[in-house]
Amino acid sequence: MANHLRREIRERVATMLTGLSSTGSNVFQSHVCPLENDDLPSLCIYTQDEEIEVGASGDPRVYHSTMILIADGYAQKSSNLDDQLDQIGIEVQVAMAGDIDIYNLVKDSYLSSVDISYSGEGTSPIGIIRHNYSVLYRIRFMKNLNQKV
């Protein structure tokens, strides 16, 4: 059976964001991001909530989905943590804006919000910049077969 389109989208976004000057190859497809010094700065790519509407019923049935894709940037630095998070942020935003249809897998994607938070636990502060992207796509389901539209 083919992979769900959500997985394909996550994998493609991880590929798009690998090699940024701020995070390099420290890109993970997971809700849980390693916070070891060797893995920072890093990005974690994952999906969360998804709203689905039926676009057409019958066979095939078409679903219009709006999914939240998250790219969390993690940094750990004793000074200039804000600057480091801002750099991760601009690099993620430029890369994502350069391919809004994510390798033709989706109809559209756009940045819907950015959240920045900090944790003082551990040996030095950790900052997180969360990019919330709305990703719009369609899936057609036919008896035991699904495909993007």
Taking the domains of the chain in order of start, what are their residue ranges?
A: 5-148
What pLDDT is attached to residue 143? 59
- Closest by CA position to 129, among listed 70, 73, 68, 84: 73
What pLDDT is attached to residue 13? 98
What pLDDT is attached to residue 142? 63
What pLDDT is attached to residue 33? 72
What pLDDT is attached to residue 54? 86
What pLDDT is attached to residue 68? 98
What pLDDT is attached to residue 145? 55
In CATH, what class is 5-148? alpha beta
> What whole-number distance in Å separates Cα of residue 68 and Cα of residue 48?
5
> What whole-number distance in Å separates Cα of residue 82 and Cα of residue 69?
23
How do residues 9-28 score in pLDDT, each as one tens digit? Answer: 999 999 999 999 999 999 99
> What whole-number distance in Å separates Cα of residue 109 and Cα of residue 137?
9
Segments in the chain below pLDDT 70: 1-2, 34, 78, 122, 142-149
Phi, psi of 132 (to 5 degrees): -100, 115
Judged by DSSP in three states, 67 sits in strand
- Whole-model pTM: value is 0.88
DSSP assignment letter at 144: T
What pLDDT is attached to residue 4? 84
